[in-house]
Amino acid sequence: MDAREIWQLIRNNDNYNPSDERYATMEYRRAGRSGLELSALSFGMWHNFGSLDNYENMRSMVFTAFDCGITVFDIANNYGPAAGSAERNFGSILAHDLKAYRDEMIITTKAGYGAWRGPYGKGTGGRKHLIASLDRSLKNLGLDYVDIFYHHRPDPNTPIEETCSAMKSIVDSGKALYIGISNYSKEQAEEAFRCFKEMKVPLVMLQMPYSILNRDVEKSGLKALARENGIALTAYSPLSQGLLTDRYLHGIPEDSRMNKDKDLKKATLTEELVRKLEALNELAGERGQTLAEMALSWTLKDGDVASAIIGASRPAQIVADAKLNTAFTAEELARIDEITL
């Protein structure tokens, strides 16, 4: 089923019925040494899912993702721009359209950035913030529990033991099944891994930026450390905020994120970067893929990454991203390294 057929189905039938073929082509990967399996792609709601966005488009994107076999839906307490609005929108879709399919979904949320007024909502690793934030998220989502609860960023002002203890309390309460951490350095992650292990907290995921253009988790040794500890990576920004697509091969499109010159700066698109993108696009064509398809596939080329988080502004992008081919020859991998490193 292509994007047009999915969209037509949604328009013709307000009562969503998932595709019977939704599990036919998606790959499912073990989250480290845990018993949890994740779809190779996760659907992220950082952008295009908040207080300023079109609700029907949100619905169609969630339906399309689910029909493509994506079972992991990634969100956070501060996604908006009005904090909590992305959770509330997704919660509404869950309640009205997907309630019967909750057991087929892995729903994740996070705490650690500012999400409400006052000293306890500004984002910390403290017990008060983490537990209160998850309670707010569950209310927004209309759920009794989430599958994975992440600490969104390390907090140098809170002892790691307090953060780990709060996460243990959350799991013990049944409000989260598994724990993840995000944006930790190698040294911070190593300390957290030790602490969680001692407390017998089911830490399964390390969420970090990772793409052909961003190899920091490899260079720092963090990827290898996670593997040694039986923890899987989930990669965010696997397309480097859209750079690893064909959108920037011929300049800056008017409707692009870069044209707004906010989180993706115009100065990023140097002549050197364009040359790299052109060379990668040529290789993708030889593989019978678009640049985006190859970039996502590269992120998932080994078992260290359980899932890569994609975002979208329309359903067709999700259908395109789901066309994975994670098999690369040694020559192709060497050529990618030669182009980008």
Per-residue tens of pLDDT for the chain, all 341 residues? 555 555 555 544 578 999 999 999 999 999 999 999 999 999 999 999 998 899 999 999 999 999 999 999 999 999 999 999 999 999 999 999 999 999 999 999 999 999 999 999 999 999 999 999 999 999 999 999 999 999 999 999 999 999 999 999 999 999 999 999 999 999 999 999 999 999 999 999 999 999 999 999 999 999 999 999 999 999 999 999 889 998 888 777 766 667 666 667 677 788 899 999 999 999 999 999 999 999 999 999 999 999 999 999 999 999 999 999 999 999 999 999 999 99
Could you tell me which residues are beta bridge partners of residue 106? Answer: 72
Cα dihedral across residues 92, 95, 96, 101: positive or negative: positive
Strand 28-30 with 37-39, pairing: antiparallel
Q: Which domains does the chain have, with CATH numbers?
A: 26-340 (3.20.20.100)
Which residue's entry shows tokens 């994670």?
A: 326
* Torsion sign across C-alpha atoms 225, 231, 236, 240: positive
Nearest to 117 by CA among 145, 155, 92, 84: 84
- Closest to 80 in 3D by CA, of 117, 52, 108: 52
Within 10 angstroms of residue 9's Cβ, the number of other Cβ atoms is 17
Interatomic CA distance for residues 112 and 128, integer angstroms = 11
> Which residue, 207, 173, 234, is CA-closest to 38?
234
Tokens coding 40: 């190779």
Measured CA to CA in angstroms, residue 243 lies from 29, 94, 128, 264, 301 at distances of: 26, 31, 38, 9, 19
Closest listed residue to residue 247, CA positions, set 280, 223, 277:
277
Q: Is the pTM of this model over 0.85?
A: yes
Helix (H, G, I), strand (E, B) or coil at 304: coil
- What six digits make up the tokens of 209? 């930026």
Nearby residues of 282 by Cβ (< 8 Å), 6 or more positions away:
none
- Any residues with CB less than 8 A from the CB of 288 and at least 6 apart, and which? 325
Cα–Cα distance for residue pair 241/295, rounded to 1 Å: 12
| AA identity, residue 52 | L
Q: Determine contact, residues 160/195, Cβ cutoff 8 Å.
A: yes
Q: Which residues pair with 46 in a beta bridge?
A: none
What whole-number distance in Å separates Cα of residue 110 and Cα of residue 118? 19
